[in-house]
Structure 1
């Protein structure tokens, strides 16, 4: 091998090494990028298990508080005892509305619920113990997501509400009214039974 061929061989060898180094650097950059994406996804991924009911209700051995039921629907209450799995939501706007409204409505029921229960308890002369009051509040909070979903569908299908602010306002107002109405119906039902203390 003469000097020219030797130089050409070394030059080609250096070019090959240079190209391989570039490819290695590109692969390392891609790996780093993929690792960053995986880490980001893992830190933001929170899995929750939720149970949703067709109607919001509070059950206890000494009575049942039914949220969202008319008296004629109470006859079929056995159908509501089995929770249905949450269906896949295709509407991303609902997830945003739900995430916004659940904490707000939970805060509302936590702050306003006890006073509401005590006021209606006094009005209908149905004393409620503190532990039962807490159980009522917790039962209502557990079922708020299904009521948000119900009123979100109603707002879009019956009232054609699509504006985000109007949607949130409508859902919030309806859930608050339903909570009050249902607690009141519960107290009336307990009172009308003529239960003796």
Structure 2
């Protein structure tokens, strides 16, 4: 009889232990379900005011990023943000920029040698930079004034204008001293 009671007590203890373990499993399962169902908190920004007149900028270098990146974007994706704000360059403008980089410096070098003009490399670079900055306006001007020109004719017309303008400037230039 003694042995029977000890087995009965042992089974009862094991049953109680299993019942407690099942309750604990149920609680943990409920918590996991609750955590999985919660949405990620979203950042809401009501209003941001920047007072740029209060900034003192002595030199401006690098990239200025104000505020948060959208949806916590990783830094590796920031290039995409900047590229979205810039319209793609027209093929004509791209070709003209290449022309200003490769052909014009060589043309200027031959021209100043042929006409015995003394001009520094820095001055040449400044002239090319000035002309390069005017190219988008010239493309727009010709596209609006002469709508019958195709892209190739337009390109040649602007290249011819660049060479003519540079020749006029260099002919009137008295040279570096």
**TM score, norm. by length of structure 1:** 0.45
- Say which one has the larger Rg: 2
Bigger relative contact order, structure 1 or 2 (CA pairs below 8 A, ≥6 apart): 1
**TM score, norm. by length of structure 2:** 0.49
